[in-house]
Amino acid sequence: MARYGAQFGPDLTFLGVDAVDLDDRAALEAADVVVVGAPFDGGASHRSGTRFGPGAIRQACYLPQDGSRPHLALRVDALRDVRVVDAGDVMMPPGHIETALGNLEDAVFAVASAGAVPLVLGGDHSIALADATGVARHLGYGKVSMIHFDAHADTGDIEFGSLYGHGQPMRRLIESGALRGDRFLQMGLRGYWPGPETLSWMAEQQMRSYEMTEIGERGLGECLDEAFEIALDECDAVFLSVDIDVCDPGHAPGTGTPEPGGLSSRQLLDAVRRICLELPVAGIDVVEVSPPYDHAEITAYLANRVCLEALSGLAARKVGIDHDPAGPLLDGR
């Protein structure tokens, strides 16, 4: 699984971290986190362009590509206190979704089985099927819970005559047994899809969906508290999947299916950092960044910072920093 190269942009690593080959087992085993690009938008149902997402996310920054990002609040370096490397983009041929997802699943499994956390840059949300399955292949089917940030449930069945697409990965994950429906936590749902039949299926699986109306009434922090308890019940690890359209389009315009009324960028960043600091996260993907529809790189910058907040949380967890999610660091630094 050599580096794919520059079909969808320059072959740059995430903010300048070292490059790695997925065939280099020793290098993977020496890493804490391996960035994997998934340049695929063959599952998009509306606006495409997310194949350019990995490249945009890797370089969206006003600071040097120097492989260092000290976090002001946590006092850790997201790219140095954990060993982060970049495996480049996986070969995901346009028009061949099953082949593309199979290639990605093998890449994620290679990373997870080497003991590192895969950080997958999408791509449309169809890639979550491969990402979470690759982690579950290593840790065990039914042993990984999902915390899923999204405007949409992505639990459709057959769409446009296909079992695979960006509106269906969560159903496929549950049907396959890779993930349990009753350990599936969704944050930020809103809008006008799916319909009653799909919602009934979700209820049968005992999925827990925190719609924006509930988050608005209870507060995101309280919803996360509850979700954490469910996520860790009878599961050994958590997969974090972030669809950038969970944020209001004013904060993330460059996405395929924008839905007004979402989270703010601040809410998302704080939540992602807290998840990676407090929970045993075994895999992450950040999806649905569509640069052709972005403005002033707003969405790409947000996705880049979602990655950095996740990495900072992992770094703080590794070095043992205590953190109050509602306030400053407990040690006063």
Q: What is the pLDDT of residues 142-194, one digit of tens each?
A: 999 999 999 999 898 877 666 567 788 999 999 999 999 999 999 999 999 89
Strands laid side by side in the 208-211 sheet: 18-19, 84-89, 33-38, 117-122, 281-287, 237-243, 144-149, 184-189, 208-211
Check residues 138 and 329 and name the one with the higher pLDDT.
Answer: 138
Of 23-32, 41-50, 72-81, minimum mean pLDDT range: 41-50
Single-letter amino acid code for the residue at 60: A
Q: Residue range 28-39: average pLDDT?
A: 97
**Three-state secondary structure call for residue 144:** strand
pLDDT in tens, 202-228: 999 999 999 999 999 999 999 999 999
Report whether 156 contacts 171 (CB < 8 A).
Answer: yes
Residue 287 phi, psi dihedral angles, 5° rounding: -130, 170
- Map tokens 């009753």 to a residue: 182
- Report the pLDDT value the prediction gives residue 6, as an integer from 0 to 100: 65
Beta-bridged to residue 266, according to DSSP, are none
**Cβ of 302: how many Cβ atoms within 10 Å?**
23
- Report the pLDDT value the prediction gives residue 44, as an integer from 0 to 100: 83
What whole-number distance in Å separates Cα of residue 135 and Cα of residue 137?
5
Question: In the predicted model, is pLDDT for residue 326 greater than 70?
Answer: no
pLDDT in tens, 254-306: 999 999 999 999 999 999 999 999 999 999 999 999 999 999 999 999 999 99
Residue of 257, 298, 276 whose CA lies nearest to 125: 257
Residue 32 phi, psi dihedral angles, 5° rounding: -95, -40
**Three-state secondary structure call for residue 104:** helix
Half-sphere exposure of 147 (CA within 13 A, CB side): 27
Task: List the structure tokens of 91.
Answer: 């070969």
- Report the pLDDT value the prediction gives residue 168, as an integer from 0 to 100: 82
Q: What angle do CA 326, 330, 332 make, to 5 degrees?
A: 115
What whole-number distance in Å separates Cα of residue 240 and Cα of residue 304?
15
Question: If 0-12 CB within 10 Å is exposed, 13-18 middle and 19+ buried, where does residue 83 land?
Answer: middle
Residue of 144, 148, 165 whose CA lies nearest to 156: 165
Report whether 252 contacts 286 (CB < 8 A).
Answer: no
**Who contacts 32 (Cβ-Cβ below 8 Å, separation ≥6)?**
82, 83, 84, 116, 117, 314, 318
Residue of 162, 145, 206 whose CA lies nearest to 45: 162
Q: Cis omega before residue 194 (within 30°)? A: yes
